[in-house]
């Protein structure tokens, strides 16, 4: 299985380490030998049709900050050039999310699919802005598009709703899908002011470079788009979400909620309307998790409400979701 | 798809209602037309190779307490006779669990598999006493054995661990798998004595006819056997579980736990050893659910700890799990 890896940040590096540590096991148990034939970051690229050396990749990135130094010639090829010129089976898109035009991820995904590659995206941007059309493009090109890592990190929320609950009808769902805002709101419930709580979250590395993605609810809204399309078969994109962030939540709101045995949480919900907004949740509700935890509650027609709780982020967690998608793609291919 | 239904209690009747209400949808979406060609209860049987009338079955059961009155001839054939003489694709075993010899469920399952039928069991007894050998027998006879409803009721815990987490290694798990004892312990934490809490649970219909199955941890232990075999590939049966129930939990234990911000819960865990016993869990742990809720936390190598919470019982919930197994069997058959 030949892989092109777009972006070589924490997730990309974790994936390379994971593939390395699991190499024998993956071959023995699933018959797959993933080979990374191309990788690029903002500095440049590295390619090798017979598979790049995983340890060397990690070493070079650590030492020089870019994979371009993998070979002496210092490969300056851009991502799109790699996608055009290197043959591969699967493209893994792990560049940074943006919700304005979703580039460069959008172009990577579209060009890879046109070249017949299956795509695994942990980048939420392209899916948030164009889920329905990307799915159509995948179908048209007879390739698979997977994105387990975009919602819940290592917690397989999307798979649970789609496969574990097959035959059941999910009627609505609500989730705490952004760990950063949940961490801030948890600290506010414990008495911190918004500004101090935000500063603390920043110092721990929980806040995105563009803090608006967390604080204004964009990250949660992007995940809601993906869930609504995948789980509820809706055809929606980011502008369809009514989105309010947590900047206006103040001490009064928190105190008012506490009096009712509730906490204020940033909730993304799908129940006719698609809404992201701060809401009061009862402390007795399993959905009411603290710290950086994520949680989602699916309500189904016959099996009641089911809540899944897990860490929503982390390099290795997201890498493990990519591995699941790889195995899923492998399984689907071998069937057809 | 021709089905023989063993036992026609709450679960069996819920299933018949569910198949009735979903008939069109199941055909349109999955191409299956489930036909119940045989059903029996302690009073007798009803059979029809072209499919029994679902509404009439429910009506007769309600009116006369047994399906034997479905036909004028009052069919007295036993379960085993039905299994021997009626041709079917799938046997659904829904008679009462017992952990002494697991009969009559055990004989139903074994004979059905020998006749080439796939089996869906919501009866935990046979699996608790003979999981490894029943799995071997299924393989030998080229049939599928499914049992989603035995753990978590309508909450697809087994599927989650096996499929949603594929490619991931689960290193340990711990769960609150018996709603009845959780309901009693929750009430004790709120100040009720054990005896009053037990009486209350009985009045609500939460306690098994043989109360020992709940109170002495047998039900939780049976579920632990199934999880250990299915999720961890262990080959164990009920005698391999170290099992302690909740009869000895007293007010002192509860108070002591509360002082440490904990609650006493009946926990079934797999971490080298397989243990069911009352244990203190932190109130902040997502696993610490109240009332009749079930919860299970899987700890995996790369994706951290993930907790699933849902209702663990209920006729319609369990029926929905049977439907999932039917769809799963259908999918597997169409593949081979």
Q: Are strands A262-271 and A293-300 parallel, antiparallel or unpaired?
A: unpaired
State whether B286 and A286 contact (CB < 8 Å).
Answer: yes
Tens of pLDDT, residues A37-47 = 999 999 999 99
Q: Quick one: A163 exposed, middle or buried, by C-beta within 10 A (0-12, 13-18, 19+)?
A: middle
Q: Which of A234-238, B151-155, B296-300 has the lowest mean pLDDT?
A: B151-155
Q: Confirm if A197 and A188 have CB atoms less than 8 A apart.
A: yes
Q: Is the pLDDT of residue A194 over 90?
A: yes
Task: Among B302, B308, B327, select the one facing A308 at the smallest CB separation.
Answer: B308
**Crossing angle of the two packed helices A10-21 and A315-335, in degrees rounded to 10:** 60
The label of the residue with tokens 């949740």 reads A281
Q: Which residue of A has its CA nearest to B298?
A: A310
Phi, psi (degrees; rounded to nearest 5) at A146: -125, 155
Contact B39, B125 (CB under 8 A): no
Write down the pLDDT at residue A256: 97
B223 is known as an active-site residue: yes
Q: How many CB atoms lie within 10 A of CB B82?
A: 26
Check B304 against A314: CB less than 8 A apart.
Answer: yes
Quick check: A17 contacting B, CB < 8 Å? no
pLDDT at residue number A313: 81
Average pLDDT over residues B237-266: 97
Q: Check if A2-154+315-335 and A157-311 are the same fold.
A: no
Q: What is the pLDDT of residue A181?
A: 97
- Tens of pLDDT along A198-229? 999 999 999 998 999 999 999 999 999 999 99
Report pLDDT digits (tens) over A255-276: 999 999 999 999 999 998 999 9
The confidence score (pLDDT) of residue A245 equals 97
Strand partners, B130: none
| Whole-number Å distance between alpha carbons of B20 and A11 | 48
Residue B212, number of CB atoms within 10 A of its CB: 13
pLDDT over threshold 90, residue A166: no
The per-residue pLDDT for A73 is 86
Average pLDDT over all residues of chain A: 95
Percent of chain A with pLDDT over 70: 100
- B45 burial (CB, 10 Å; 0-12 / 13-18 / 19+) is buried
In this structure, what token pair is assigned to residue A108?
A: 């990577």
> Residue A84's closest CA among A40, A147, A19, A138?
A40
- Beta-carbon contacts of residue B40 (< 8 Å; ≥ 6 apart): B5, B6, B7, B8, B46, B67, B77, B78, B79, B82
CATH of domain B157-311: 3.30.360.10
Distances (CA, A) of B59 to A35, A55, B21: 62, 69, 16
Which of A167, A233, A293, A307 should one mutate to test binding to chain B, selecting the residue with the greatest count of B CBs within 10 A? A167
β-bridge pairing A262-271 and A273-282:
antiparallel
Structure confidence at residue A167 (pLDDT): 81
- Region A11-31: mean pLDDT is 94
Quote the pLDDT of residue B148.
95
Please name the member of B30, B155, B328 whose beta carbon is closest to the beta carbon of A306: B155
> For residues B246 and B76, which has the higher predicted lDDT (pLDDT)?
B246
Average pLDDT of the segment spanning A238-242 = 98
Domain boundaries, chain B: 2-153+315-335, 157-311
In the numeric block, which tokens belong to residue B153? 């009721």
Percent of chain B past pLDDT 90, that is, above it, reads 90
* Structure-token pair, residue A290: 């603290």
Does residue A145 have a pLDDT over 90? yes
Tokens in use for B325? 């197994």
Q: Which of A263, A306, A315 to mutate to test the interface with B (most CBs of B within 10 A)?
A: A306
Per-residue pLDDT at B153: 87
As a whole number of angstroms, the longest Cα–Cα distance in chain A is 66
* pLDDT at res. B334: 83
A18 pLDDT band, cuts 50/70/90, is very high
Residue B175 at interface with chain A, using a CB cutoff of 8 Å = no
Considering only residues B311 and B111, tell me which one the structure prediction assigns the higher pLDDT: B111
Distance CA B295, CA B298 (A): 10
> With an 8 Å Cβ cutoff, is B45 touching chain A?
no
Q: Is B2-153+315-335 assigned to CATH 3.40.50.720?
A: yes
B307 touches A: beta carbon within 8 Å = yes
Residue B168 has pLDDT above 90, yes or no: no
Does residue B313 carry a pLDDT above 90? no
pLDDT at residue B335 above 80?
no
Residues A277-312: pLDDT tens digits? 999 999 999 999 999 999 999 999 988 999 999 998
What are the φ and ψ backbone dihedral angles of A93, each rounded to 5 degrees?
A: -100, 110
The residues, any chain, with a CB within 8 Å of residue A132's CB and separated by 6 or more, are: A229, A235, A236, A237
- Using the Cα atoms of residue A16, residue A18, residue A20 and residue A25 in order, give the sign of their dihedral: negative
Domain A2-154+315-335 indexed as CATH 2.60.40.10: no
For the segment A142-162, the average pLDDT, to the nearest whole number, is 94
Q: Report helix, strand and coil shares of chain B as percent, to nearest 5.
A: 45, 20, 35
- Mean pLDDT across B257-282: 97
**Other residues' Cβ atoms within 10 Å of the Cβ of residue A261:** 10
Instruction: Tell me which chain A residues have a C-beta less than 8 angstroms from the C-beta of B310.
Output: 303-307
């Amino acid at each position: 299985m030949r892989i092109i890896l777009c972006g070589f940040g924490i997730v990309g590096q974790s994936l390379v380490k994971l593939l390395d540590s699991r190499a024998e096991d993956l071959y023995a148990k699933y018959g797959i030998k993933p080979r990374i034939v191309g990788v690029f970051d903002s500095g440049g690229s590295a390619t090798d049709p017979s598979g790049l050396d995983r340890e060397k990749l990690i070493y070079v990135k650590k030492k020089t900050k870019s994979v371009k130094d993998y070979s002496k010639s210092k490969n300056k090829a851009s991502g799109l050039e790699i996608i055009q010129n290197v043959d591969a089976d699967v493209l893994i898109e792990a560049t940074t999310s943006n919700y304005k035009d979703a580039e460069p991820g959008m172009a990577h995904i579209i060009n890879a699919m046109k070249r017949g590659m299956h795509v695994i995206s942990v980048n939420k941007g392209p899916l948030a802005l164009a889920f329905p059309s990307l799915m159509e493009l995948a179908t048209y090109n007879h390739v698979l598009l997977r994105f387990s890592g975009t919602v819940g990190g290592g917690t397989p929320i999307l798979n649970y709703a789609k496969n574990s609950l097959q035959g059941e009808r999910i009627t609505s769902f609500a989730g705490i899908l952004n760990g950063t805002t949940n961490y801030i709101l948890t600290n506010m419930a414990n008495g911190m002011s918004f500004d101090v709580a935000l500063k603390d979250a920043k110092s721990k590395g929980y806040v995105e470079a563009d803090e608006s993605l967390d604080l204004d609810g964009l990250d949660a809204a992007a995940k809601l788009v993906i869930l609504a399309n995948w789980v509820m078969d809706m055809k929606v994109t980011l502008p369809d979400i009514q989105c309010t962030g947590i900047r206006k939540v103040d001490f009064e709101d928190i105190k008012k909620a506490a009096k009712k045995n509730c906490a204020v949480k940033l909730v993304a919900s799908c129940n006719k309307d698609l809404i992201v907004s701060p809401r009061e949740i009862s402390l007795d509700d399993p959905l009411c998790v603290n710290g950086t935890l994520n949680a989602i509650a699916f309500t189904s027609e016959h099996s009641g409400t089911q809540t899944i709780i897990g860490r929503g982020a982390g390099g290795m967690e997201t890498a493990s979701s990519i591995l699941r998608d790889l195995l899923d793609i492998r399984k689907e291919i071998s069937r057809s």
